[in-house]
A and B are shown apart, each in its own frame.
Chain A
Amino acid sequence: MRNRPETILTYFLVLILGFLGFLTLSSTSLASPEDSSSERLLAITGVHIVPVTGNEIKSGTILIKGNRIEAVGEKVSLPEGTTIINGQGLTAYPGLIDSYSSLGLVEISGVAATVDNRETGRINPQVKAIEALRYDSMHIPIARANGIVAAVVAPTGGLISGQATLVKLNGWTNREMVIKESLALVVELPGIRGGRRSFMGMGGQAAVSTEKALAELKELFHRARMYEKRKDYASQNLLISPPDLDETSLFLLPVVKGELPVIFSVHADKDILQTIKFVQEEKIKAIFYGVEQGYKVAGEIKKAGIPCIIGSLYDLPPLWEEGYDSLFLNPVILNQAGVKIAFSSSSSSAAKDLPYHAAKAAAFGLDRKEALKAVTIYPAEIFGVDKDMGSLEKGKLANIVLAAGDILELGTTIEKVFIEGQETDLSNRYTELLEKFKKREKK
């Protein structure tokens, strides 16, 4: 047998093709978001469907094609090759969206080395949360395992804390998680008790008042506009020297141009009114966060059309005299006044509790359907991603949670979480440690 080059080459090619074919056929890891087969078909059948927008379906089918929802209905015809998942006894919800968290920035709050959400200094528009976000945070799988598919991750501290990001809770790197890299600028205004900020619990310098803070912002915005004007002028006229680099102005430009919204962390009723005025004068896009006394000025907030992210309800009312339940009644009153609200976990280690804040408000009068909307479609609308998320509708991304009951209920177990058509791994720190030590049990 002569070793003809053609024969060897043929054998080699066959081997390589066979190997590649083998690779193609073997399934990719569940956690990989880059699906090789974008035309994969998946159907969840016999499942109770809560689309959030539109009527509930007692028993129906959701057809997923690739990473989007192809069809939702009582009767859906399934193309050939559709993988079927039996959804009997389960309820399908859109994946939940956390409107404010520190997921991926804070691991163990008491250990400074693991806390990455607060930069030093007061004015930090250039700081971007996405650039510090850790995919491998132990809190992300825990939140995902409770049905949360996307979260706003926000920096904190100072007056201008930095740029918050909107991420999906799936991806091998922080960049793979990005939905909107730069979602909004975070501005933090004083709390309700304003007043003296204490050093180690004693009297210190007074905190800046909201009035002063807004005046400072006004000045910074003005500077940014002038900066741009100068840059433009210089670019058209060689004789005009361009301005020196002004980092603050550079990063405030998208805000003053109305492109990048600002999330104002604002709390007292007077401060809310002042901030509304500021937003209207400066012609910027705004979202409010916290708004604990928002209920007192609900009408004004509604008129201004500013949506409100509710802060954690795991807190005490800021002022005793406003009633023990004022914190819980706040979102109820805002919602009933027509303000668009969204709930947040305002946490990383308790991010999985997002649905329970919504339920707590429902316990105090919020319509349960509205409560669910406030963790699904309303945040999607507020953050401009409602074309892709927030409800179970044809064309939207297949972010679907299969729950063994009401997703806002404490006792409900989550059976499956799909993010963009991919079934995600629900194992997390809790389950891993439990399994490990279950092995210790003597039979």
Chain B
Amino acid sequence: MRAVSKKLKFKLGRLALALALTAIFVASLTPRAQAEVKPAYALLNCRIVAAPGQTIEKGKIIVRDGLIEAVGPAEKIPVPPDAEVIEASGLTAYPGLISAHTNLFLDVKEQDQPQNPEDYFSSFLQPSEPQEYPDLLVLKGLKPKLTTVQAYHRAGITTVVVAPNRGIFQGQSVVLNLNGENLNPMVIKQPWALHLNFTTERGVYPSSLMGTVAFIRQKFYDTQHYAQHWKKYLASPAGLKRPEYDPFLEALVPFVVDKKPVVFQCNNQEDIKRALKIIKEFQLNGILTGANEAWRVIEVIKQARLPLLVSLDFRAPATSLFAQQGEAARKKAESELYPANAAALQKENISFALTSFGLTDSSFLKNVQLAIKSGLSPETALRALTVEPARILGLEKQLGTIEKGKIANLILTRGPLFEDKTKVVKVLVDGILFNYEEKGQ
């Protein structure tokens, strides 16, 4: 028995070694960032802005298994023996920024206007049904790219809502943590909300804005009727005509009946009013996004008390007054009036989130700075990119501040956030470290 077991042990040992080596080899194939073993980190001696208005001058953050294990003044936080130490003096830690409206990773570009006569004609050979996607789960079509993730990290953004971008009923968004290139591990909330946009179809009903409004309302009424009919039928089908299955209406039921969140894209001040009217009519759990002309209807917004996802895109809408009075007037509005949108909301104590919707990572930062120059306080700006979006997304228990138990989404900057020369040098998402330190720093 002993001889056999020794031989066996040896064989088993070799097998185990082989297996271990294979495992390590396989593990090494997957990108570094997707390493299944998430080390613990200890960030030392950095300035910590754990939440807007809560600063620790010299502190420590302990990260383990993707979560914040501890955060506080340096002298109060012991460093666990297994933590990888990151010396962070001279750096400031902020909660990772959340952009609650983006079109990141979407495979298909928004429908462009046909440029050539041939394209124009062929666009009319499309099916005669409106291209609407209330049941579209945007997650299904996403193609993440590491370079995009890295670019967003450099802008300080670690969490994004990816929203669909086509049609009136655009589909349902997903909340992602930008922790790599693999889609499924990114998902925080799926789906989040139904997205609507005040746009039109081309060549089919509704091809006008007034048609769109009627279309949306009719669909919502139909959903109510549909749900009512199905409810009755399912409770007691005897003697009742079976309602016809309708995937469009089926997709809308959770939002119209169960009051899941519905996001309305408002491209000008009148869209805001249109959205509020519909939200009120159907008692929806409404959220407004875009709202670049909120400053023109501030009283209405104040009364409505709805979550706001305010875009930092300062271009004057084509229908706006400022786009109709000559180039000089338009440029002036785009450099003075529209950037002051957030400041106007701040002045009225209206809470809002800011988003990178419509912008690239670099223009996002630039525009945050312009918004601050136009009167938005840096603290409110931080709030609008951390605490407030976390709250609107229903993720305040997991994101938005650097707090024990929350997800380890942090950015480490050299310099105060939102200032011109400031650079993001390190990013943690779900406790995974991304280094952006440039040589010579």
Chain A residues at the B interface, C-beta cutoff of 8 Å: 199-200, 202-203, 319-321
Contacts of B329 in A (CB 8 A): 321
When C-beta atoms are compared, the residue in chain B nearest to A319 turns out to be: B326
Chain B residues at the A interface, C-beta cutoff of 8 Å: 113-115, 117, 120, 324-326, 328-329
Q: Measured between alpha carbons, how far is A342 from B326 in the docked complex, in Å?
A: 30
When C-beta atoms are compared, the residue in chain A nearest to B119 turns out to be: A202
Ordered by A's residue number, 18 sampled pairs between the chains whose C-beta atoms are within 8 Å are: A199-B117, A199-B120, A200-B117, A200-B120, A202-B113, A202-B114, A202-B115, A202-B120, A203-B113, A203-B115, A319-B326, A320-B324, A320-B325, A320-B326, A321-B325, A321-B326, A321-B328, A321-B329
Q: Measured between alpha carbons, how far is A202 from B326 in the docked complex, in Å?
A: 20
Q: Measured between alpha carbons, how far is A200 from B115 in the docked complex, in Å?
A: 11
Contacts of A320 in B (CB 8 A): 324-326
Q: Measured between alpha carbons, how far is A321 from B114 in the docked complex, in Å?
A: 31
When C-beta atoms are compared, the residue in chain A nearest to B325 turns out to be: A320
Closest beta carbon of chain B to A198's beta carbon, Å: 10
When C-beta atoms are compared, the residue in chain A nearest to B324 turns out to be: A320
When C-beta atoms are compared, the residue in chain A nearest to B329 turns out to be: A321
Q: A199-B117, A202-B113, A320-B324 are in contact. List 4 more A-B contacts (CB 8 A).
A: A202-B114, A203-B115, A321-B328, A321-B329
Closest beta carbon of chain B to A268's beta carbon, Å: 14
Q: Measured between alpha carbons, how far is A321 from B326 in the docked complex, in Å?
A: 6
Contacts of B117 in A (CB 8 A): 199-200
4 tightest Cβ-Cβ pairs between the two chains A and B: A321-B326, A320-B325, A202-B113, A199-B117
Contacts of A203 in B (CB 8 A): 113, 115
Contacts of B328 in A (CB 8 A): 321
Contacts of B325 in A (CB 8 A): 320-321
Contacts of B115 in A (CB 8 A): 202-203
Q: Measured between alpha carbons, how far is A200 from B114 in the docked complex, in Å?
A: 11
Q: Measured between alpha carbons, how far is A319 from B326 in the docked complex, in Å?
A: 7
Contacts of A202 in B (CB 8 A): 113-115, 120
When C-beta atoms are compared, the residue in chain B nearest to A322 turns out to be: B326
Q: Measured between alpha carbons, how far is A199 from B119 in the docked complex, in Å?
A: 11
Q: Measured between alpha carbons, how far is A319 from B325 in the docked complex, in Å?
A: 8
Contacts of A199 in B (CB 8 A): 117, 120
Closest beta carbon of chain B to A131's beta carbon, Å: 33
Q: Measured between alpha carbons, how far is A199 from B115 in the docked complex, in Å?
A: 9
Closest beta carbon of chain B to A196's beta carbon, Å: 11
Closest beta carbon of chain A to B395's beta carbon, Å: 42
Closest beta carbon of chain B to A377's beta carbon, Å: 38
Closest beta carbon of chain A to B228's beta carbon, Å: 43
Q: Measured between alpha carbons, how far is A200 from B120 in the docked complex, in Å?
A: 9
Q: Measured between alpha carbons, how far is A320 from B325 in the docked complex, in Å?
A: 5
Closest beta carbon of chain B to A239's beta carbon, Å: 52
Q: Measured between alpha carbons, how far is A22 from B113 in the docked complex, in Å?
A: 75
Q: Measured between alpha carbons, how far is A321 from B331 in the docked complex, in Å?
A: 13
Contacts of A200 in B (CB 8 A): 117, 120
Contacts of B120 in A (CB 8 A): 199-200, 202
Q: Measured between alpha carbons, how far is A320 from B321 in the docked complex, in Å?
A: 11
Contacts of B326 in A (CB 8 A): 319-321
Q: Measured between alpha carbons, how far is A319 from B324 in the docked complex, in Å?
A: 9
Closest beta carbon of chain A to B221's beta carbon, Å: 34
Q: Measured between alpha carbons, how far is A203 from B119 in the docked complex, in Å?
A: 12
Q: Measured between alpha carbons, how far is A259 from B120 in the docked complex, in Å?
A: 47
Closest beta carbon of chain A to B120's beta carbon, Å: 6
When C-beta atoms are compared, the residue in chain B nearest to A203 turns out to be: B115
Q: Measured between alpha carbons, how far is A320 from B322 in the docked complex, in Å?
A: 11
Q: Measured between alpha carbons, how far is A10 from B110 in the docked complex, in Å?
A: 99
Closest beta carbon of chain A to B118's beta carbon, Å: 11
When C-beta atoms are compared, the residue in chain A nearest to B115 turns out to be: A203
Q: Measured between alpha carbons, how far is A199 from B123 in the docked complex, in Å?
A: 14
Closest beta carbon of chain B to A29's beta carbon, Å: 53
Closest beta carbon of chain A to B110's beta carbon, Å: 16
Q: Measured between alpha carbons, how far is A283 from B325 in the docked complex, in Å?
A: 40
When C-beta atoms are compared, the residue in chain B nearest to A199 turns out to be: B117
When C-beta atoms are compared, the residue in chain A nearest to B328 turns out to be: A321
